[in-house]
Structure 1
Amino acid sequence: MSKGENAIWLSLPFVADNGVEIAESGWGNPEHTADFAYRLVKRVCKEFNADEEKIVLTGFSRGAIACGFIGLRNDSIASLWKGIHACQHFDGDGWGKTKMDDALERLKRAKHIPQFHTDNNNQQPKRMFQDNGIDVVFENSGLGAHACAMFLDDRESTVKLREWFNKLLK
């Protein structure tokens, strides 16, 4: 999205039940993960003088599901995000035992958060976001594969994502 310019990127882990180790599969402990993510984002903003009003959450595949499952888990973490980008999955689609009813409950915390979804443009997520009044853009990469290669070129969906990102942060 940023083309490596004027942004700080964090790759956040899922935290295990013990609250210390990284969970290499599944969600680990979602509460510990949300708490760790919140504290780390706040710390990085403070230490690197980042603008706390311009934080965008993004994820691919399991990370895209985590945008809702972790990123909207409670009011504290949901309050961090200026925008959300999810690619090739969404919270509630069944992976990792995510349930649509729970995802809809978490989505209530996103009413004020614009979203951009890449390759999530089937009817289920469209209806879910529209029914909840979420400002959302859906784009298809045309890649036809479960791969993040689309972000390495200037395909139409990636150009639109970059435009969305830059407009969002102005």
Structure 2
Amino acid sequence: MKTLLFALLLLPSLLVAAELPDIQTVPPDLVVPALSEGTPAAGKRVRLGLNVLYLPTDWKADTKWPVIVELAGNGGYKNKYGDVSTGLPEGSNLGYGLSGGKGFIWLCVPYLNAKGDQIAITWWGDKPSYDPQPTLKHLRESVQSLCRDFSGDETKVVLAGFSRGAIACSYLGLHDDETAKLWCAFFAYSHYDGVHKWPYPASDRESALTRLQRLGNRPQFICGEGANAKQTEAYLRPLAPQADLTFLGTGFRNHNDAWTLRPSSARDKAREWLKRVTSSR
């Protein structure tokens, strides 16, 4: 019965998605730089411990830079449209697509297992407890060291995520006061904390509302394929009627963050929002 109910809830979104164009019908105007070896430098994307760091082409060490911290979707995902998610930080696209490779430091941070020594491809921690604490500790330390070592502006750090990462924008990003204070804004693409129940503890709506109360007046851009964003808006607007929330469909049918590597009106609006939330602080 629960499976049937969930399928019925998803049906409008699936029907809308089927009528929308595939991202492959729009040629990309951006290509995420390949991972390079060696020291971080302007225009390079390098592995930094478990993280993946990109410094913009215009980066200089004597200037403070806004930062996009990105969390990936669950790994092992593939759908009928050919959309794939590896669950690894190097598979992420949002930060590069939103910035165009300029003006923003882009840091992709993984989720960690319970011991904190390996990347968790699905959710965070280990079954059945899905302990988020190692991931939260790594996330906080990564932001702090980035701002210290690469001139990131600690007042202009945007937390972004796709799918699992979109849920994590609130589940992890607003999990506790220490973590919540790091962010100036949130970009959640496809899914949202509290809309559906998931296999990890405290995914229920009451727990999600507790986390949402840490948002304050900070902006959130919430988008998704099909009717995904509309479903989130129906859930979230009554809970936070005064919040600075933007809801938008991507205009594509795909569950794939590579939509940001292609020109679209949704990307234009997302970039305008990003400029607003990082220039006003």
TM-score where L is the length of structure 1: 0.93
Counterpart for residue 25 of structure 1: 122
| Cα 1:96/1:8, change in 2 over 3 Å | farther
Counterpart for residue 44 of structure 2: none
* Distance in 2 (alpha carbons) for counterparts of 1:129 and 1:17: 34
| Cα 1:8/1:130, change in 2 over 3 Å | farther
Counterpart for residue 197 of structure 2: 94
Counterpart for residue 66 of structure 2: none
Counterpart of 2:244, as a letter, is: D
Counterpart for residue 14 of structure 1: 111
Greater percentage in strand: 2
Counterpart for residue 209 of structure 2: 104
Counterpart for residue 115 of structure 1: 220
Whether 1:155 aligns to 2:252 is: no
Is residue 167–residue 191 contact of structure 2 (8 Å, CA) maintained in 1? Answer: yes
Counterpart for residue 80 of structure 1: 182
Counterpart for residue 10 of structure 2: none
For residue 95 of structure 1, report the CA deviation from its aligned partner.
3.1
Is residue 192–residue 232 contact of structure 2 (8 Å, CA) maintained in 1? Answer: no
Out of 102, 114, 119, the position equivalent to 1:5 is: 102
CA RMSD of aligned residues (A): 1.5
Is residue 233–residue 247 contact of structure 2 (8 Å, CA) maintained in 1? Answer: no
Counterpart for residue 87 of structure 2: none
For residue 20 of structure 1, report the CA deviation from its aligned partner.
2.1
For residue 112 of structure 1, report the CA deviation from its aligned partner.
2.3
Counterpart for residue 54 of structure 1: 156
Out of 134, 138, 142, the position equivalent to 1:40 is: 142
* Distance in 1 (alpha carbons) for counterparts of 2:265 and 2:172: 29
State which structure, 1 or 2, has the greater radius of gyration over its C-alpha atoms.
2
- Runs of 4+ in structure 1 over 3 Å off: 123-127
SS in 1 for 2:222: strand
Structure 2 residues not aligned, in runs of 5+: 1-97, 126-130
* Distance in 1 (alpha carbons) for counterparts of 2:234 and 2:149: 38
* Distance in 2 (alpha carbons) for counterparts of 1:126 and 1:5: 35
Aligned sequence identity (%): 36
For residue 130 of structure 1, report the CA deviation from its aligned partner.
4.6
* Distance in 1 (alpha carbons) for counterparts of 2:119 and 2:249: 32
For residue 121 of structure 1, report the CA deviation from its aligned partner.
2.1
Structure 1 residues not aligned, in runs of 5+: none
TM-score where L is the length of structure 2: 0.57
For residue 44 of structure 1, report the CA deviation from its aligned partner.
0.6
Is residue 58–residue 64 contact of structure 1 (8 Å, CA) maintained in 2? Answer: yes
Q: Which has the bigger relative contact order, CA under 8 A and spacing at least 6?
A: 2
Greater percentage in helix: 1
